[in-house]
């Protein structure tokens, strides 16, 4: 009987749709690690593609039902037509929902990759600060050399906040959705702790270098005064010698 055969095809397709909904749309997914998230993206992509491949099957069933209705008596039309309409609607909804969920997970994966990229960039900058702090730990030389070290550190510290803001926003977006919240919070805590620690150390080093510059300037000033004083004495002695003043006549304070 043709009606029985068509109803069997309709029923089998309905079962497949229900199974796909339960497997990919109604199941609770937990993404605690990047591997789990990536696996879910790939799984949804396969499910979406499999659903699209079923379009040929749905079209064949549709053509078969329509051909049967065209030849069968009106009494057999209504029930079959209704079942076909339900099938087509269910199938289209399944494809739409699978595609929507796959796109959402793709965006979540891209968001995770972007977060890693920003964290990597900021950690490289923090590495530079760490190296700079070590380099300025015991700066030798006068006020000019120390001043150059201070300028170099201050230039490095003039770093835009944009990346850090992006990290905060991307992390918030992911954790709000329950995506890898423990892992992300751990990464953020480690990053923020290091950021604060190096910022504080940099501020301390800036103050220390400023004090060193001041001390060096005072030392330079003292040396200059001593040199000026020695030069004046030397000039006096030279003048006495030129005038052939006897050593006994040189005033005591000049010696």
pLDDT one-digit tens code per residue, 84-137: 999 999 999 999 999 999 999 999 999 999 999 999 999 999 999 999 999 998
Contact 14, 84 (CB under 8 A): no
197 vs 2, which has greater pLDDT? 197
Band of pLDDT at residue 1, cut at 50, 70 and 90: low
Q: Which is nearest to 44 in space by CA: 110, 100, 92?
A: 100
Provide the pLDDT confidence category of residue 68 given band limits of 50, 70 and 90. Answer: confident
Dig out the tokens for 194 from the structure.
């290091």
d(CA 182, CA 184): 6
Q: Are 105 and 37 in contact (CB under 8 A)?
A: yes
Rounded to two decimals, the pTM is 0.78
Domain boundaries, the chain: 2-212
Question: In the numeric block, which tokens belong to residue 245?
Answer: 């003043």
3-state SS, one letter per residue, for 114-138: HHHHHHHHHHHHHHHHHHHHHHCCC
**Span 2-212: which CATH code?**
1.20.58.60
145 Cα distance to chain centroid: 37
Mean pLDDT of 28-49: 91
């Amino acid at each position: 009987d043709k009606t029985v055969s068509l109803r069997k095809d309709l029923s089998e397709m309905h079962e497949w749709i229900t199974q796909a909904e339960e497997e990919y749309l109604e199941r609770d997914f937990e993404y605690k690690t990047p591997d789990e998230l990536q696996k879910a993206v790939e799984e949804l992509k396969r499910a979406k593609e499999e659903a699209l491949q079923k379009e040929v099957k749905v079209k064949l069933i549709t053509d078969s039902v329509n051909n049967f209705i065209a030849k069968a008596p009106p009494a057999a039309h209504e029930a079959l037509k209704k079942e076909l309409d339900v099938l087509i609607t269910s199938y289209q909804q399944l494809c739409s929902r699978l595609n929507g969920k796959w796109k959402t997970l793709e965006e979540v994966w891209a968001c995770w990759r972007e977060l890693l990229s920003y964290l990597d960039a900021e950690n490289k900058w923090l590495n530079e600060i760490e190296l700079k702090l070590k380099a300025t730990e015991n700066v030798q030389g006068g006020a000019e050399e120390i001043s150059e070290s201070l300028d170099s550190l201050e230039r490095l510290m003039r770093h835009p906040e944009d990346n850090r803001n992006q990290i905060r926003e991307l992390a918030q977006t992911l954790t709000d959705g329950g995506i890898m919240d423990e892992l992300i919070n751990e990464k953020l805590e480690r990053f923020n702790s290091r950021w604060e620690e190096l910022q504080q150390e940099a501020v301390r080093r800036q103050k220390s270098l400023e004090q060193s510059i001041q001390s060096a300037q005072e030392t330079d000033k003292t040396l200059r005064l001593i040199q000026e004083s020695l030069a004046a004495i030397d000039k006096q002695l030279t003048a006495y010698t030129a005038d052939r003043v006897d050593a006994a006549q040189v005033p005591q304070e000049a010696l």
